[in-house]
Amino acid sequence: MSAVERLDSGGARRSPYFTEEHEALRDQLRRFVETEIKPHALAWEEQGFVPRALLRRMGELGFLGIRYPAEYGGSELDTMATVILAEELGRSTFSGVAITALVHTDMASVHIANGGSKAQRDAHMPGIIAGEKIVAVAVTEPDAGSDVKGIRTTARREGDSYVLNGAKVYITNGVHADLYCVAAKTDLSAKPSQSVSIFLVEKGTPGFRVARELDKHGWRSSDTAELVFEDCRIPAENLLGQEGRGFYAIMSNFQNERTVIGAMAMGEAQAAIELTLDYVRTRKAFGATLWDKQVIRQKLAMLAARVEAGRQLVYHAAWLDAQGFDATREVSMVKAYCGELVNEVMYACLQFHGGMGYMRESAIERMTRDARVQAIGGGATEVMLEEVAKRL
* Catalytic residue annotation: 257
Distance CA 378, CA 296 (A): 33
Contact 106, 257 (CB under 8 A): yes
Residue 12 φ/ψ, nearest 5 degrees:
-85, 135
What radius of gyration, in Å, describes the C-alpha atoms of the chain? Answer: 21
SS3 content of the chain, % helix, strand, coil (to 5): 55, 15, 30
State the alpha helices, DSSP H only, in the chain. Answer: 20-32, 41-47, 52-60, 79-90, 95-102, 109-115, 118-130, 246-280, 294-322, 328-353, 363-371, 381-390
H or E stretch covering 185 = strand 179-185
State the alpha helices, DSSP H only, in 233-327. Answer: 246-280, 294-322
Contact 240, 199 (CB under 8 A): yes
Minimal CA–CA distance to 262: which of 304, 309, 225, 299? 309
What Å distances lie between residue 335 and 113, 285, 313, CA to CA?
Answer: 24, 37, 10
Contact 167, 210 (CB under 8 A): no
Distance CA 102, CA 85 (A): 8
Q: How far is CA 199 from the centre of its chain?
A: 21
Contact 378, 335 (CB under 8 A): yes
